[in-house]
Structure 1
Amino acid sequence: MLNTKNDITIRDICAADKPGWENLWQQYLHFYRADVSPEISEKTFSKLCQKQELVGLVAVNDQGQVLGFMHLVYHASTWSDTNYCYIEDLFVDKSARGKNVAESLFNEAYKQAEIRESSRVYWMTQEFNSSARSLYDKIGQRTSFIIYSKR
């Protein structure tokens, strides 16, 4: 699962990516004002590397620096005989924005979803995330669904 474009490589996450991933993960959590314990972050990274219930993709430059990540969740659907691919998390370092890193991560996610015979790739974002939404409006189709949640 290797995709190279403009000195950026998109590949599956591995244990050696942990320091770079952790740095971006903390920035991502800060952006969304989320409080995730170190234990949950550790478990998440471990699951991403196992590539079973969670799949992690990273964008790295030619020095191996992690510039972005995307976390995929494959799940069954009651509306389809194939699975769906949910993009739960996406984050690109500020220094790498505007350089097609997010688009490259999406392209790899689409390829992997096709290999796994997923009939849908979907994601969500917060309404105030206008910079991400400008990209999403180009590469996806906005739906009319409203998400509710209860803790």
Structure 2
Amino acid sequence: MPSIRDALPADYNAWRMLWAAYLDFYQVQLEEETTQSTWESAINPLVPRRIRVLEVENDLTGFALIQFQTSSWQVRPVCYLEDLFISERHRGKGLGRAMLDNLICVAKESGCSEFYWHARRDNTHARRLYDRYVKEDGNVRYRLPIG
């Protein structure tokens, strides 16, 4: 049975390995400073960001990074799932579903009115899971790098 919890400082090395595999999956390279900042902000209780980790038999096998945000469209905060990753050798075992179910509970417990995420169009494996929860809403994301 998987265990899902907030990341602890002692999880850094295991998370870092999963983070590297996640970045490889998306063929992205980040500055070390960005990775360090992501970790530090997510374990800082004063920042509205959290890393949830998934353990199977004391082995960190997945993580999710969520952010709580205010909204100009709603009174209550919303929860944004920025990153979700399950190690390749543990996929297809229901762990992604367990993580999503846990994150939805966290969002509810935090008083959020909405839980949302993005997925790449070509990530069919993840979208098959996500479509079991809700169909994509037709929005298109535009990203304008600045600086």
TM-score normalised to structure 2 length: 0.94
- Structure 1 outlier segments of 4+, above 3 Å: none
Query: Helix, strand or coil: the match of 2:23?
Result: helix
CA RMSD of aligned residues (A): 1.0
Unaligned runs of 5+ in 2: none
Partner of 1:56: 51
The one-letter amino acid paired with 2:94 is N
Q: Deviations over 1:52-94 (max 9, x none)?
A: 22111000012x2110000001000011000110000000001
Task: Select which of 79, 82, 85 maps to 2:79.
Answer: 85
Unaligned runs of 5+ in 1: 1-6
Q: What is the distance in 2 between the residues matched to 1:78 and 1:139? A: 25
Q: What is the distance in 2 between the residues matched to 1:140 and 1:72? A: 18
The one-letter amino acid paired with 1:38 is E
Query: Helix, strand or coil: the match of 1:139?
Result: coil
Please give the residue correspondences for 1:2-151 in structure 2 after superposition, counting only pairs within 5 Å.
7-51=1-45, 52-62=47-57, 64-151=58-145
How far does residue 16 in structure 1 lie from its aligned partner after superposition? 1.3
Does 10-19 or 47-56 show the bigger shift? 47-56
Q: What is the distance in 2 between the residues matched to 1:149 and 1:41? A: 20
TM-score normalised to structure 1 length: 0.91
